[in-house]
């Protein structure tokens, strides 16, 4: 008991310590881990149809490694649409772009078909530089959901018109025919050029494009659908590198860029393992490029996810690291929950299990938008 007075004195001192001393220590530690608490830039990468099984197969196909291993924060989202447990790309991308559950086939509209502003449109209004890149047509469901508002995803010519309503600074994808060979006989490429766009097409290899220092830039990679990666399509990595540089030099407030590896999904629909694997391989190269850029930049939030899984891909029991035996259970999408990977300031928001609409909410919260 002779030490009791000393013990009581120490307890009393601890209880009376300034609370600010504790909070300063916590803040210091937090800033050491993440010195920039608000990102300047957001890059959202969507591997269409890329569920956990596609990631697993792609990892083994790539020598048991993937750029996704460089992401410290992992979450899971629930991808159902408003009217179906199994979503399509339109409803899935609208959830990311608008924070709204909607019906399958809907582009940038609520379940009652009323338009809702997308995060790209909001950031464009706030002075951010914005971009869309896809290995599908640029009017396909995923990129369209960030810039267009339409009751049905296959109204491609109507969706193309919406590119004249929102001045996205940089876009790359297929679908040239929906802009310059239209039923209404309008030439939207000429109209874009009149609005300070430099427009290049697949007649010029992307590497040889003249990307301007000022104005906006568009590249049509195909008249309709771009080729698969294993048949010679090779612009996604170069377009992503150029897009980051271009947007970083356009607008002081920051940038928002959505990059879609569209054809992982198409390989799943076709039930062709090599199609899925080679598309994932290319997308993984892009993920690594963006991650490396973000690490150097220090102010960029990178989020990688998928809208849904396609094909019910499974790796069978006789597979080895060098020889994958892959089987599909469907030629359509499935309802499995989808992984989310995040890096950079604000990435901690993406841990846990949540609805797909929360990705929109979390990006806005990270950017501290009201």
CA 345 to chain centre: 16
Query: Is-contact 216 196, C-beta < 8 A?
Result: yes
State in Å, rounded, how far the first CA of the chain is from the last one: 59
pLDDT value of position 37 = 83
The CA-atom distances, in angstroms, between 47 and each of 19, 76, 163, 207 are 46, 14, 23, 23
**Cα–Cα distance, 97 to 100 (Å, whole number):** 8
The string of pLDDT tens digits covering residues 26-78 is: 333 333 334 458 999 999 999 999 999 999 999 999 999 999 999 999 999 99
**Cα–Cα distance, 275 to 265 (Å, whole number):** 9
From the number of C-beta atoms within 10 Å of its C-beta (0-12, 13-18, 19+), residue 355 rates as middle
**Cα–Cα distance, 355 to 367 (Å, whole number):** 19
Tokens 């990595």 identify what position? 237
Query: Is-contact 120 232, C-beta < 8 A?
Result: no
Query: Is-contact 233 166, C-beta < 8 A?
Result: no
Residues facing residue 293 across a β-bridge: none
**Cα–Cα distance, 141 to 289 (Å, whole number):** 25
Which string of DSSP letters, residue by residue, matches 92-117?
HHHHHHHS----TT-BSB-TTS-B--
Determine phi and psi for 61, rounding to 5 degrees. Answer: -60, -30
Which domains can be identified in the chain, with CATH numbers? 36-173+221-366 (3.40.720.10)
The CA-atom distances, in angstroms, between 19 and each of 25, 227, 234, 262 are 10, 62, 57, 52
- In this prediction the pTM is 0.90
Q: Structure tokens of 359? A: 């990705």
What residues in the chain have per-residue pLDDT under 50? 1-35
Q: Structure tokens of 47? A: 């591997």
pLDDT value of position 2 = 39
pLDDT value of position 251 = 77
Active site amino acids: 89
Which string of DSSP letters, residue by residue, matches 39-91?
-SEEEEEEETT--HHHHHHHHHHTTS--GGGG-SEEEEEE---SS-SS--HHH
Residues 6+ apart with CB under 8 A from 334: 51, 86, 308, 309, 310, 311, 312
């Amino acid at each position: 008991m002779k030490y009791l007075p000393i013990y009581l004195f120490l307890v009393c001192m601890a209880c009376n310590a300034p609370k600010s001393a504790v909070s300063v220590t916590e803040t210091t530690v937090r800033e050491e881990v993440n010195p920039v608490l608000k990102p300047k830039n957001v890059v959202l990468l969507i591997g269409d149809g890329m569920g956990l099984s596609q990631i697993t197969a792609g990892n083994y196909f790539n020598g048991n490694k993937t750029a996704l291993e460089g992401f410290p924060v992992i979450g899971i989202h629930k991808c159902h649409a408003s009217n179906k447990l199994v979503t399509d790309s339109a409803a899935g991308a609208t959830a990311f772009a608008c924070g709204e559950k909607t019906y399958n086939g809907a582009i940038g509209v609520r379940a009652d078909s009323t338009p809702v502003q997308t995060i790209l449109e909001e950031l464009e209004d706030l002075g951010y530089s914005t971009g869309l890149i896809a290995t599908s047509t640029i009017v396909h469901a995923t990129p369209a959901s960030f810039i267009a508002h339409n009751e049905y995803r296959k109204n491609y010519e109507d969706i193309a018109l919406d590119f004249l309503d929102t001045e996205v600074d940089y876009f790359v994808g297929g679908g040239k025919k929906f802009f310059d060979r239209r039923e209404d006989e309008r030439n939207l490429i000429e109209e874009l050029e009149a609005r300070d766009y430099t427009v290049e097409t697949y007649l010029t290899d992307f590497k040889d494009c003249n990307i301007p220092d000022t104005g906006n830039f568009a590249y049509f990679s195909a008249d309709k659908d771009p080729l698969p990666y294993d048949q010679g399509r090779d612009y996604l990595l170069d377009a992503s590198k150029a897009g980051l540089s271009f947007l970083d030099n356009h607008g002081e407030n920051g940038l928002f860029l959505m990059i879609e590896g569209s054809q992982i999904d198409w390989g799943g629909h076709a039930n062709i393992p090599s199609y899925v694997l080679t598309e994932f391989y290319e997308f993984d190269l892009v993920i690594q490029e963006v991650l490396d850029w973000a690490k150097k930049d220090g102010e960029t939030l990178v989020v990688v996810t998928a809208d849904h899984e396609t094909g019910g891909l499974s790796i069978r029991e006789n597979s080895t690291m060098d020889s994958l035996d892959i089987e599909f259970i469907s030629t359509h999408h499935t309802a499995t929950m989808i992984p989310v990977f995040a890096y950079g300031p604000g990435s901690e928001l993406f841990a846990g299990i949540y609805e797909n609409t929360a990705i929109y909410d979390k990006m806005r919260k990270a950017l501290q938008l009201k």
